[in-house]
Amino acid sequence: MTDTVPADLPADLLAALPADLRERAAALDAADPLARHRDRFARSEGLVAYLDGNSLGRPLAATRDRLASFVDGPWAGRLIRSWDEGWMDAPTELGDLLGRVALGAGPGQTVVADSTTVLLYKAARAALEARPDRRVVVADTENFPTDRFVLEGIAAERDLELRWITPDPEAGVTPEEVARAVGPDTALVLLSHIAYKSAYVADLPAITRLVHDAGALVLWDLCHSAGAVPLSLDADGVDLAVGCTYKYLNGGPGSPAFVYVAAGLQDQVRQPVQGWMGSADPFAMGPAYEPASGIRQMISGTPPIVGMLPMRDMLALLDEAGMPAVRTKSTALTGFVIDVADAYLPGVRVVSPRDPERRGSHVMLDHPDFRRVVAQAWERGVVPDFRPPQGLRVGLSPLSTSFTEVAVGLWVIRELLG
């Protein structure tokens, strides 16, 4: 047990666990083939249980050295020459790596740049340019605010109709709901692959086919998918996708987002933020904008080189571990949370799907006292997050999280519930 339990878990909290729970968690840790990777993450002073890996991933220890060597190496050592020695190609080179490791995307279709919000805007506007004779955009009322807000702004500036799907908030958007919403007037459908509240995994292949049958394009938000759930964007025929990199890709606060545009669509779209880095010849300094060919056209301004550095360490680790193994660990962790909630958290309701195939890498629990409990749990070194009106979200990054850590964290939550 001492080899599988995180060394910084307090002995008194471990002792407070019921024997059967403590033994089950220890057995799961001992059998976990990914357990050996946990000590590759930087330590967090005073942390008991980190249950918010779907909001901000923990940094890898290797990233500390990478950042320091970057300052003394390509930045100080080569200065502006580094643009010619790799920085200019970093957005597409890192995009290709991300596509191969985590997205199921071939080269030349993914680029790392900007924030999620900016890329959602650019991707949505680009899609609408490819369907100029249609004026309906379909989205759902339960999606993350940024997605909804971006579409509201685009609809206002382009005089488009927003058609809202209102799904079950404890599940997510179904193919049947999409089929009822789309039609010959639909230009674009924007949905999240994994619901940020319930963790419901949408049927991406089926929904994508339905949207295509209506002659429309689909834009998937992969913020809660990339790095936690295997994806097959090419095989599933996805048109466009956007995601952040600070959750399961451990890029750090403010790390750049990514956008995927299918190769067959790239000559039909034109993104609206016409910056010089996305032009065909940035250093020609020409009088008029001419977009670059391929995925590079989605870039606008100077690439966020420093923000890309931590991602490289996490993508290397994901590549080593393999996304199928990461997904297996994820479903085991979330299933364990549900079992503990059922057995030991009276009055707490599990909101997330119980079917592991329909559940992402977090679990939403519901209780009227969770706003207070989350605030008090943080003071005790247990860090979930709160989602209104009364949800406690347990976000589990598979490579950095142990079952014993989860058990201790949930037991602290039980104690705070009183």
339 is catalytic: no
159 is catalytic: no
Q: Are 246 and 255 in contact (CB under 8 A)?
A: yes
- 415 pLDDT exceeds 80? yes
Q: Which two tokens stand for residue 64?
A: 């500390």
Q: Are 303 and 113 in contact (CB under 8 A)?
A: yes
φ/ψ bin of 96: left (φ > 0), alpha (ψ from -120 to 50), beta (otherwise): alpha
Q: Find the mean pLDDT for residues 37-48.
A: 95
Q: What is the pLDDT of residues 357-394, one digit of tens each?
A: 999 999 999 999 999 999 999 999 999 999 999 999 99
The three-state secondary structure class of 13 is helix
Q: Are 393 and 364 in contact (CB under 8 A)?
A: yes
Identical fold for domains 11-59+322-417 and 89-302, yes or no, is: no
Handedness of CA 322, 324, 329, 330 (dihedral sign): positive
How high is the mean pLDDT of the chain? 96
User: What's residue 2's pLDDT?
Assistant: 35
- 6 pLDDT exceeds 70? no
Distance CA(227)–CA(54), nearest Å, equals 10
Q: Are 89 and 78 in contact (CB under 8 A)?
A: no
The catalytic position among 70, 144, 344, 386 is 144
**In CATH terms, is domain 11-59+322-417 a member of 3.40.50.720?**
no
User: What's residue 5's pLDDT?
Assistant: 42
User: What's residue 3's pLDDT?
Assistant: 40
The model scores a pTM over 0.75: yes
Per-residue confidence at 8, pLDDT binned at 50, 70, 90? Answer: low
Spell out the domain ranges in the chain: 11-59+322-417, 89-302
Tell me the H-state helices in 218-322.
305-321
The catalytic position among 247, 296, 312, 359 is 247
The catalytic position among 29, 221, 239, 366 is 221
Residue that is written with structure tokens 């008194």 in the block: 12
Domain spanning 89-302 has what CATH number? Answer: 3.40.640.10
Distance CA(335)–CA(353), nearest Å, equals 10
The catalytic position among 196, 246, 248, 370 is 246
User: What's residue 4's pLDDT?
Assistant: 42
Q: What is the pLDDT of residues 108-167, one digit of tens each?
A: 999 999 999 999 999 999 999 999 999 999 999 999 999 999 999 999 999 999 999 999
Q: Find the mean pLDDT for residues 178-195.
A: 98
Q: What is the pLDDT of residues 76-100, one digit of tens each?
A: 999 999 999 999 999 999 999 999 9
- The string of DSSP letters for 143-182 reads S-HHHHHHHHHHHHHHT-EEEEE---TTS---HHHHHHH-
Q: Which helix (H) or strand (E) covers residue 409, if one does?
A: helix 403-417
User: What's residue 10's pLDDT?
Assistant: 86
What angle, rounded to 10 degrees, do the helices at 323-344 and 19-30 form?
Answer: 180
196 is catalytic: no
